[in-house]
Structure 1
Amino acid sequence: MKSLCVIGSLNMDLVTTVENFPVAGQTVMGKAFNTFPGGKGGNQAIALGRLGSDVLMVGKIGEDMYGKRYLEVLRSNNVKSDGVSIEKGMSSGVAVIQVSNNGENNIIVVPGANAEVDINYIESKWSLIERADIFLFQLEIPLETAIATMKKLKKQGKTVILDPAPAVGLPDEIFKYVDYLTPNETELETLIGRKINSEENLVEAAKTLFDKGVRVIVAKLGSDGAAIIKKDKCTRVPGFIVDPIDTTAAGDSFNAGFAFALAKEKELKECVIFGNAVGAISTTALGAQEAMPTFERVDKFIRDR
């Protein structure tokens, strides 16, 4: 099995559950409050570790109790933390999350130490980084760091997966270094600058990104599963039906499942099916990482359906 590396954010999620989200100027009573390790990078690394991957996390935490706790979480979930350093004098990243009764969420992210993951830091960890085969990126560290790192990895023939989240417009250059782009519908609309309301629109939108250099787009479509889009065709892959409790890390879990199967050199459709399963299971408990499954659980989940 190929080895993996996640380069990205490490946040502590501060989660409040509410009946309904407040509107501007309104105060509502929350039902519960919890803290969970999160951040898109950390979520993907933890999910990979639980699946049994050989995975390295690269990022930064702050000089606070959240950072210390996160190091313990990484190590206890089979994630190599040699690529994680403490940024002195700074807080760890935090995400303030509201979760409603129907499992929907909204999120405010404060980057903290994640903003200090610069190009020099990546260079200082390069001897560790270059040992991996497949790399996962998101957009919660400085964009210039992600682009420079992807460029260097592609020169070495590595495989790059980009989850373009949170949804922002991106410079054309980045797409030259991406093998697999994994946006949800909102993120894809942001990247192409227009609404998508049909499969025809989906395929047409993807052409713009292929022209910029992307090899394959795997569009995450929520309960509708995913779509594998190549230059010549679009293949729909149905999702799995579960009763969601918290959808916070469903996209991160999908990416981890997809990358895990890719590392096992499965066919692309199998990789997406596995990603769909990991993503679905991850929504069945509160907190970004609480329901992230083992390989055995995912395997049984797929076979049972």
Structure 2
Amino acid sequence: MGSLAHLGRAALPSVPGVNLLPGVRKVRPSEFTGVTVRNEPVRIDPAHVARYAAVCGFPRKDTVPVTYPHLLTFGAQMEVMASPEFPWAAMGSVHLENTLTSHRPVAVGESLGVEVVVEQTRPHPKGTVVDFVSTLTSGEEVVWESVSSYLVRGRGQEDAPPGLSFDAPEGRVTWRLDDGLGRRYGRVSGDMNPIHLYPVTAKALGFKRHIAHGMWTKARSLAAIENRLSDAVRVEVAFKKPVFLPGSVSFGVTGDRSEWAFALRRPKDGAPHLIGRATAL
């Protein structure tokens, strides 16, 4: 099933009336016992990698950008969200954090199996955090893993544990982001969520303008230090304030090859869009 079809299925539970139909109707959160989706190995398409690298600022190489495998998990994540056993609607959830672990470089043209498991939820002051755990394998070898944490808004817990926090550097380099960035990244990633496409589609979902994808901001930040990353690396980021399009962001990085701290900030006041760190394994 294509990415747009997955997005459509995941969006159905948000449609009044349709969300009551068999196969669409969701279980209650109290009945949630977990969802697992496994996909057969898929060959990484060199042309697709090239388009992704161009949008995100990575150099062309015979290995994929460290964030590229996230795209291989996207369809399985949408399948989880569309499942009747997953209690929450996809639309309206907020991507809070993402941690990826790359155990080795992944070759362009390599075939990888995909598994996405959702079992864990955590309290948050504004609702519930749901962790999507993705694993990519080559045969029996685990080559890449990630945890994507999404906030489902609702009744929260005021004393919930805080999320990821880092000492983040100040911005040093300013990047200008154009109006069409969300559409270009959406076409290559498959994530055509309306909040990323046009002002009118974003306003319909409560944003003043369309916003950049969080995973693009992570990818672009890592592209800036790609030649300084270890072959085996863990990269943790927290998404803070949305990046409105068109607009500008400032990027800063400090550290050494054992650990880099980086951030994307709002140039006018330094407010963080993204804070992160990359740790050599």
Higher strand share: 2
Return the TM-score normalized by structure 2.
0.29
- Which structure has greater helix proportion? 1
